[in-house]
Amino acid sequence: MAGITARLNPSGVIRARMLSNHIRTQERAVVPQPQDQVILPDAGYDGLAKVVVKAIPNNWGEIIWDGAVMTVK
């Protein structure tokens, strides 16, 4: 049997246990985009081990985020 079992204890803490040592993870690298991105593992992988968000390209200009509005100069 493969996968993970998880239980929520009375104090609200999730306790998880791996059922197999054969979980396949993948590393991904992404470049920032103007829209939201959902990063998922490719088919054949069970999860992501690491996601690297690349630096904003120099030709994007200065990006300012005030917590609500993003401005590009």
Q: Write down the pLDDT at residue 71.
A: 81
Q: Which pTM does this prediction carry?
A: 0.48
Q: Which residue in 23, 5, 24 sits closest to 15, CA to CA?
A: 5
Which band of pLDDT confidence, cut at 50, 70 and 90, is reported for residue 73?
confident
Query: For 3-62, how does the pLDDT look when each residue is reduced to its tens digit (9 = 90+)?
Result: 666 677 777 776 766 555 677 889 999 888 878 889 999 998 888 989 998 887 777 777
CA distances, 25 to each of 1, 44, 46, 56 (Å): 17, 9, 6, 26
Q: Write down the pLDDT at residue 2.
A: 56
